[in-house]
Amino acid sequence: MPIIFENSSMTKTAAQRRLFTVSDYYKMAEAGILSPDDRVELIRGEILKKWRKSSQHAGTVNHLAKLAILALHEKAVVSVQHPMSINDYSEPEPDIVVAKRRKDMYRSAHPRPEDVFLLIEVADSSLAFDRKVKTPLYAQAGIPEYWIVNLNDRQIEIFRSPAEGEYQEKQIVKHTETAVCSVIEFAVAAGMF
């Protein structure tokens, strides 16, 4: 998408963004342009810095991972803060990915949208980004169910039924209620966070 600038002679000039592919992204890491210490992810061709994680965020991810692994270890692979390949221009790193079981445990390739049962993002400072950027990204990819564990409002926001690039269903699970996944047998009491 071009960015329009007005210069001093009042004419408009269009500047084009250079979007990076997943292949470009990995080449930059191999060349040392991106280091393992860089907290970034590739979203729609742009390399974006990730938010710093509070101890509440990190502890919630740890707790969710434990619950998911205990509940689903025979039914799914639970991936914690690892890449997921959406397409040639997006490789986000959701907090939790619950994916179909594979013998290789995704050693040969990251999970793709068709592999995913459930994605979970834990949000405090990243809440607006998770709602406005990641929700449509995941809906357009056809992820069947996406949860935002909203630490600020003490609730879980559940998005289901992606169609035409948007989630058709949204449910708010308050801290006194239980979030239940519709795709795989997994439930979490929202008050645990």
Report which of 152, 61, 48 is spatially closest to residue 91, judged by C-alpha positions.
48
Question: Domain segments of the chain: what residues?
Answer: 52-192
Task: Express as a percent the part of the chain with pLDDT over 90.
Answer: 81
Contact indicator for 121, 149 with CB cutoff of 8 Å: yes
Answer yes or no: is pLDDT of 41 > 90. Answer: yes
Answer yes or no: is pLDDT of 39 > 70. Answer: yes
**Coil/strand/helix, residue 99:** strand
> Tokens 């290789």 sit at which residue?
104
Count of CA atoms in the C-beta half-sphere (13 A) of 167: 20
DSSP assignments along 28-57, one per residue: HHHTTSS-TT--EEEETTEEEEPPPPPHHH
Residue 10 confidence (pLDDT): 60
Residue 46 confidence (pLDDT): 93
Answer yes or no: is pLDDT of 114 > 60. Answer: yes
- The matching CATH number, chosen from 3.30.390.30, 3.90.1570.10, 3.30.450.40, 3.40.50.300, for 52-192 is 3.90.1570.10
In angstroms, the CA 10 to CA 25 distance is 37
Per-residue pLDDT reduced to its tens digit, 11-33: 666 677 889 999 999 999 999 99
Average pLDDT of the segment spanning 93-97:
97
- Predicted TM-score (pTM) of the model is 0.88
In angstroms, the CA 65 to CA 23 distance is 29
> What's the maximum distance between 2 C-alpha atoms anywhere in the chain?
66
